[in-house]
Amino acid sequence: MEALKVKNQELESILHIANHDLRTPLVNIAGFSGELSKSFQDLQKTLEKVDDPWELKKELTEKLKEDFSDSLDLISAGATKMKLMLDGLSHLVKAGFSAAKIERLNMNILIGTLLKTIRFQIQQAQTEIAVEELPDCLGDNSQINHVFLNLLENAIKHRDPSQTGKIRVSGRMNNGYSIYCIEDNGPGIEVGNLEDIFKVFYRLNPAKNNGEGVGLAIVRQIVNRHNGKVWAESEIGRGSNFFVKLPNHKKNLDLMGNNTY
Ligand code: ADP
Tell me the sheet residues that pair with 181. 170, 243
Report the alpha-carbon distance of residue 28 to residue 83 in Å, rounded. Answer: 14
Q: Are 104 and 136 within 8 A, CB to CB? A: yes
Atom from ligand 1 closest to the CA of residue 213: 8
CA of 210 to the centre of ligand 1 (A): 10
In terms of pLDDT, which residue wins out, 209 or 81? 81
Residues whose beta carbon lies within 6 Å of some atom of ligand 1:
154-155, 158, 184, 186-187, 189, 197, 202-205, 209, 211-217, 240
Residue 255: the pLDDT is 64
Other beta carbons within 10 Å of 114: 19
Ligand 1: which residue has its CA nearest to atom 19? Answer: 154
Residue 146: the pLDDT is 92
Pocket probe for ligand 1: among 87, 146, 158, the residue whose CB has the most ligand atoms within 8 Å is 158
Residue 194: the pLDDT is 95
Q: Are 217 and 198 within 8 A, CB to CB? A: yes
Check the CA dihedral 10-257-97-177 and report its sign: positive
Report the alpha-carbon distance of residue 52 to residue 187 in Å, rounded. Answer: 61
Ligand 1: which residue has its CA nearest to atom 3? Answer: 211
Distance of CA 194 to the CA centre of its chain: 15
Prediction pTM value:
0.80
**DSSP summary character for residue 247:** E
Ligand 1: which residue has its CA nearest to atom 11? Answer: 203
Q: Residue 21 is inside which H or E element, if any?
A: none
Q: Are 236 and 186 within 8 A, CB to CB? A: no
User: pLDDT tens digits for 218-252?
Assistant: 899 899 989 999 999 999 999 999 999 999 998 88
